[in-house]
Amino acid sequence: MKKQKHGGRLLTALVLGLVASGAIMAYFLFMPMSKTGDTEYVYIDTDDDIDSVMVKVGRVSRGTSMTIFRLLSSYTGYGDHIRTGRYAVDAKTGGLQTFRHFRNGQQAPVSLTIPSVRTKERLAEEIARHLMLSASDLTALLDDEAVCGDYGLDTLTIQTLFIPNTYDVYWNISPKNLLDRMKKESDRFWTPERKGKAETAGMTPVEVITMASIVDEETANDAEKPMVAGMYVNRLKAGMPLQADPTIKYAWRRFDLRRIYNKLLFIDSPYNTYRNTGLPPGPIRIPSVAGIDAVLNHIHHNYMYMCAKEDFSGTHNFAVTYDEHLKNAAKYSEALNRRGIK
């Protein structure tokens, strides 16, 4: 009888020990992994091996959770199946689930904002700052006529694919997949309503974006943009050269110019809207959504000329006749001279 009682106590102790061990193991498996209590991100690229992954994960992880991560990596052969990406190590997810994310490639997306920049090279550089891809690889695609043709564009208009909003993408997205994503977002942006307004204005979406890029360069004042767009629409309809100073800066790649002198107007470039009528062959920057909508909703008026105001407010004086325009231009020129701006 005593032996039975003794055996029962041993069995109970063993069961309790197993339960306790299981509870401890469960605690370590599910204990939040982040050692700071904040969400940290680990970036795994193509150069990483199991050792470098452990170093990166270890920097942001609790010691006990890191032990679990190492054991699971060894047990599952994770070193032979490392997946690139941006992974979250946070205060809510334990070592087991975090490891599964790494193992299965379940990334945390990056919020990528398309910047309003002037050149393809700068666009690629800015995007590459936030993703695993290289600026040179992205630029190579943007300069490839065949690739651009896949999207119904060319190397001078491919920037129109990039609508300047913020998108959730994976850090390790390839350059080609990024272009595919931008195509989908562009198609989503160009709703039937926007397409209808473009058609009413006698323009294609590419032409709208090209004009919007000029409007954005002319004024940072969103309230004035529909007025500026209306003036350029009037010039297009009249067959007049746009004579947009920002296109001269773009042709020269001299974005620092404060004044456009006559000697600069003779550059032989398709972007020279003083020598060529119509729109330039492509946008001179990634325009803002406000700029695009300003063209689509341009104000109907009779103005054919504009000149920056002499108060340097960033807005413009508009004129119907050339004589009126010359008076406005003289006031602005005098203001520049007074400030010593050359």
| pLDDT (tens digit per residue) in 166-185 | 999 999 999 999 999 999 99
Report, as an integer, the average pLDDT of 188-211.
Answer: 97
Positive or negative, the CA dihedral 312, 314, 319, 322 is: positive
Tell whether the model's pLDDT for residue 88 goes beyond 80: yes
Tell whether the model's pLDDT for residue 38 goes beyond 60: yes
Cα-only R_g, the chain: 30
In the 8-state DSSP scheme, what is residue 300? P
Whole-number Å distance between alpha carbons of 87 and 187: 30
In the 8-state DSSP scheme, what is residue 224? T
Tell whether the model's pLDDT for residue 127 goes beyond 90: yes
Residues 117 and 110: beta-carbon distance below 8 Å:
no
Report, as an integer, the average pLDDT of 190-196.
Answer: 97
The secondary element (H helix, E strand) that includes residue 263 is none
Whole-number Å distance between alpha carbons of 18 and 13: 9
- Which one-letter amino acid corresponds to residue 32? P
pLDDT, tens only, 270-328? 999 999 999 999 999 999 999 999 999 999 999 999 988 888 888 899 999 999 998 98
pTM above 0.75, yes or no: yes
Cα distances (angstroms) measured from residue 211 to each of 92, 216, 235, 295, 334: 48, 9, 12, 7, 29
Whole-number Å distance between alpha carbons of 10 and 310: 95
Can you give the residue ranges of every domain in the chain?
Answer: 30-104, 110-188, 192-301
In the 8-state DSSP scheme, what is residue 190? S
Q: What pLDDT score does 7 carry?
A: 47
Positive or negative, the CA dihedral 299, 303, 306, 309 is: negative
Residues 138 and 175: beta-carbon distance below 8 Å:
yes
In this prediction, residue 19 has a pLDDT band, given cuts at 50, 70 and 90, of: very low
CATH superfamily of this structure's domain 30-104: Endolytic murein transglycosylase (3.30.1490.480)
Query: Half-sphere exposure (CA, 13 Å, Cβ side) for 278?
Result: 7
How is residue 322 written in tokens? 């050339």
Among all chains, which residue has been given the structure tokens 């003289």?
Answer: 330
